[in-house]
Structure 1
Amino acid sequence: MELLWVGAAFLAGLITSRLYLPPLVGYLMAGYVLNVAGVEANDTLKHLADIGIELLLFTVGLKLKPSSLLRREVLSVGSLHLLIVTLVSALVFFGFNGHVTGGLVIGVSLAFSSTVLAIKVLEDSGELSTLYGRDVLSILILQDIVAIGLLAVANNKQPSPWALCLLLLPFLRPLAYRLLSASRDDELKLLLGVALALAGGVLAQKVGISSDIGALLMGVMLAGHVDINDLSNKLWGLKETFLAAFFLQIGLADLPGYDEIVQVLELLSLLPLQGILFFALFLLVGLRARTAFVSSLALMTYSEFALITSNTVVEANLLPPTWESTIGLAVALSLAIAAPLNRFSHRLFSLLETKLVRFERKIEHLDRLPSSIGSAEWLVVGMGRTGMSAYLAFNQQETRVLGLDADPTVLENLLAEGRRVIYGDAEDSALWGKLPLEKVKGIILTMPEFEVRSSSIKQLKNLQFAGSIGTICFHSHEEDELYRLGATFIIHPFIEAGKQLTEQMLRSTHKTVFNH
């Protein structure tokens, strides 16, 4: 059976990836195909899916700063959205087939967005650490916290008073840090990460809390360690494999009948309204149209949490059993629709930009674009390891260099070190037109995504930027395209590393022979 699951997921994922859709859409479709073929889900698949979600939330916790939950736009947008949808749901579902409580619980749960999809899409695109990525993540966590209370209402089960002890997990950070530092071998780091994620899930379940929250808090406990990126990278492939079981499980749920399909289509027709509501609220708190748009698309889904609540309310006889399959298909189709939309969210905004920017408030925006670069003559965009090396090299030559990055945490750390850096998201089509580039001699682009680098070069050339443009390239077929767009100089980091190593070795050997 396991071979059938894995094989079907792989083939369907391969087909959808060839169609420029995320593999997770293929996993969903594979589940439905297997369902039609008579294959049923069992406890093993559910257990694997639960592990996948716990690993996902654990890796998110590794990058989470608790202070981000207290941001004004997070509390206001997240709270207002839940309040508005709850009021509307109360009106729509009040007295729904005589199931007042069940209808209200389902209605409110449909206000939640898919944590799995949003985080996966943001992570795959490298935008999880951007300003809007952090806001989306924080709103999702806020929704998960509310979901705990909603589940308690649905099954009349209150979390244990001991649940508050989970908040003490951060005080175990010194011990966790020592364990990670002592785990020098790669396999030990991987095992430690999996063990902590599962331990967080078990602890949370023991006190009546969702295991996902426990895994998240365990990740937060480790956040800030110097090896955290290494641990996160090692968990990535394992997490992706287990998550395939989660999407297969959705497809393997019971298929709805004709009446239920009509209800599914009605639910899907409400998704644009949810996106519009998020967009309006983000604009209301002072975000620009672009940030509001891409954030709203990331949140415009039905949550896998609705699957849990539908199962709970059906078991409690608060709604007819048919609602399980209805909600299951609605969630699955919302994920299938949202995945490609999020993949091309920046392109979609470019098409709609002239219409959407009209709704921006005439205030100083929270995600404002830089309008000044001081006396900088060189710009380094993307302050990761490559970008930081370029920045330091410019500094050694005593040139006037400025770094740009879209990660608030990276900027905060670099500013604390006395570096000259400002906020700047290269995926924002308005960035290059806003920057005064007349005196800039050259720009280095170190962003890992090829589409972002190529788009930036194209925009700079359209603005008739006369300076040099240097960038990186990981695949040979990308080089010709980057040069065609107007790049002045391109390096392959791995090839250059090999050349440098050879030169150093030969130079060292030559010196040794000469000294003898």
Structure 2
Amino acid sequence: MFEVISISSAFFFGLLVKQIGLPPLVGFLVAGFAIYGLSDPLNLPQETGEILDYISHLGVLLLLFAVGLKLKLRQVLQVRVAGSALVHFAVSTAILTPALAVILQLDAYSAMLVAMALGFSSTVLSAKMLEAKRELVTFHGRMAIGILVIQDLIALVVLSGFGGDIPSPWALIVLGLPLLRPIVYRLLDLTGHDELLILMGMLLALVVGGMGFQTVGLSSELGALLMGVLLANHKRASELSESLWGLKEVFLVGFFLKIGMSGLPDLAALGQAVLFMLLLPLKGVLFFFLLIAFGLRARNAFLTAISLTAYSEFGLIVAASLLPEWIIPLAIAVSMSFVLAAPLNALAHALFERLEPFLLRFERPGGHPDEFPVNLGNAEIMIFGMGRTGVAAYDAILSHSDRVIGLDADDYRVTQMRASGRNVALTDAEDANFWHGVNVDGLKAVMLAMDDVGAKLNAARQLRALGFAGPIIAHALYEDHIEKIEHAGADQVYLTMHEAGTSLATRAWSELERREREVD
């Protein structure tokens, strides 16, 4: 019965909010509230909570494993990443502790723990939104994920220090994980491309990373993330992530339902949750100015801060362990922050364009670590996105002209492309700084081969705004994207799978004609 209600509610509420431009996860949260409110009339079984906890936990572990597959450890170890996370946690705790003590009339210890719970940002929501926009590999995406990893480590320290849960001495085994990389790489090579690949991903995320880390007193979420990082440099890491995509998405519906079903507040708890929501903008503002202080440009500081402006599910874990009486108002605050943060993240680039003149005033003078000016040189053909489609287009163009340049937002992919001899530069199609400085006068044609439709729309509009009159050719994953991309300025848009099928048929017919000629 519960499966019928939860799946139906999640689908219809998700579909409803999608019609008004909100991400489906907002609908899943609302469905959770609705199910909880109707639990008594529908007489749902008591074990429902355990089932939902289990499913949602699997979804979180698979998501963090997928994030780890796209994360390089040295991103986390950068001073600006660790520094921003640590300083933000210290400053927010120092500011909120006395404020909460006065407003909520709490003792210093309880006020500090609530302040700490509010100091964390949601790993699940941030990773989910960045992944949906294909921005995990961009500069601001890597910054956000790196900060979240440091925050997860801080949460582990808080739980250990204040809750008395000291990791087992066996936890030191984790330091030997890099020694397992050759074995894990070999296993991944042997799995092939079918169900064994999915099972291996689940084995690493749920068994080795999840249960394994939990057994030695460490966070299962951290374990799943680190197992993904262990495989991040493997050539099939992207394929493994894609194979787990559908499974992860289904389980994550359970996570958002669970957050919504945390409970309905009384007036006191609702007032406390509203207070926490009024404090939420301080989280994003503090992150923005800290990132500016560490030398980032206003754009990446703003996009990173937006990604981190939501209360964390880890805050609920801290509350459940140390302050159980605060679990309901914190759960409501987390839910409300998700509802607010989801559309903000979806509109982040448009918001920055609107606020850009104001935000640029806070940039530090001089060079910035996230500034990647691009010189197109003598290139006549420009290709945005150097994934499999972009690389195939690049190599095909070389048979006609060597005056071609590829652009990609993933610096590791750019490094690989350059090592293979391809002319590839690092930039982000949605970075206004790139469009302000690029000279397109020498270009004759542009191909848009990135996956994210929003990036294609922005690139096509920017090219036309710069006066580029040459052909813009793009591919689309879905038929309903074609009209949008053409309206933005593209001359021709091809359905990727349709073109693959057409090419396959052409080759098959050519081979058939060749054999017929040989017979004749």
TM-score, length-scaled by structure 1: 0.94
Residue in 2 aligned with 1:253? Answer: 262
2:441 corresponds to 1:438? yes
Q: What's the counterpart of residue 364 of structure 1?
A: 367
Once the two structures are superposed, residues 122-163 of structure 1 have per-residue CA deviations (whole angstroms, 9 ceiling, x without a partner) of: 001111111110110010000001110101123122112221
Q: CA deviation at 1:167?
A: 2.3
Tell me if 1:69 matches 2:72: no
Q: Is 1:25 aligned with 2:26?
A: yes
Residue in 2 that maps onto 1:141: 149
- Helix, strand or coil: the match of 1:403? strand
**Separation in structure 2 between the aligned mates of residue 485 and residue 253 of structure 1, nearest angstrom:** 43
Q: Which residue of 1 aligns with 2:5?
A: 4
| Contact 2:120 2:314 (C-alpha < 8 Å) held by counterparts | yes
Amino acid at match of 1:266: L
- SS state at 1:223 partner: coil
1:253-285 Cα deviation digits (max 9, x unpaired): 222211221111111111111111111111111
Q: Give the match for residue 37 of structure 2.
A: 36
Superposition pairs of residues 118-197 of structure 1, within 5 angstroms: 118-184=126-192, 186-197=194-205
Larger displacement relative to structure 2 (88-97 or 127-136): 88-97
Identify if the C-alpha distance between structure 1 residues 192 and 483 changes in structure 2 by more than 3 Å, giving closer, same or farther: closer
The aligned counterpart of 1:318 is none
Which 4+ stretches in 1 moved above 6 angstroms?
none
Shift of 1:301: 0.8
1:60-459 pair list within 5 angstroms: 60-93=67-100, 97=105, 99-184=107-192, 186-199=194-207, 200-314=209-323, 321=325, 323-459=326-462
Partner amino acid, structure 2, of 1:350: E
Decide which of 456, 459, 470 is 2:473's aligned counterpart: 470
The CA deviation at 1:309 is 0.9
Mapped partners of 1:445, 1:75: distance in 2? 35
Query: Aligned partners of 2:485 and 2:100: how far apart in 1?
Result: 55
Structure 2 spans left out of the alignment, 5+ residues: 41-45
Distance apart, 1:314 and its partner CA:
2.8
Alpha-carbon contact 1:382-1:447 (below 8 Å) kept: yes
**8 Å contact kept, 1:371–1:436:** no
TM-score calculated relative to the size of structure 2: 0.94
Q: Which amino acid aligns with 1:55?
A: L
Letter in 2 for 1:203: G
- Indicate the larger mover: 132-141 or 47-56: 47-56
Contact in 1 for aligned 2:117/2:316 (Cα 8 Å): no
Read off the aligned partner of 2:23 and give its amino acid letter: P
Distance 1:130 1:479 in 2: 25
Measured in 1, the distance between the counterparts of 2:214 and 2:371 equals 42
Paired residues of 2:155 and 2:318 also in contact (CA < 8 A): no
The 8 Å contact of residues 374 and 425 in structure 2, kept in 1 or not, is answered as no
Aligned residue type for 1:153: G
Q: Give the aligned residue type for 1:44.
A: I
The amino acid that maps onto 1:191 is: L
**For 1:484 and 1:313, how far apart are their aligned partners in 2?**
54
Contact 2:374 2:426 in 1 (8 A): no
SS in 1 for 2:80: helix
Distance 1:86 1:31 in 2: 30
Moved more, 139-148 or 90-99: 90-99
Where 1:472 maps in the other structure, the secondary structure is strand
Deviations 1:408-464 (A, max 9, x none): 111121122232111111112342231011111121111222232122212211221
Inter-partner Cα distance in structure 1 for 2:135 and 2:511? 42
The worse-fitting range, judged by mean Cα deviation, of 4-13 and 324-333 is: 4-13
> What's the CA shift for 1:98?
5.7
User: Secondary structure, in 3 states, of the residue corresponding to 1:380?
Assistant: strand
Aligned length: 510
CA distance in 2 between counterparts of 1:267 and 1:153 reads 24
Contiguous gaps of at least 5 residues in structure 1: 316-320
The Cα of 1:488 is off from its aligned counterpart by 2.9
Shift of residue 93, structure 1, vs aligned partner:
4.8
Matched, 1:494 2:497: yes
Inter-CA distance 43–485: structure 2 relative to 1 (3 Å threshold): closer
Q: CA RMSD in A?
A: 1.8
Per-residue deviation, 1:487? 2.1
Letter in 2 for 1:81: H
Q: Cα gap change, 1:34/1:468 in structure 2, threshold over 3 Å: closer, same or farther?
A: same
Amino acid aligned to 1:246: F
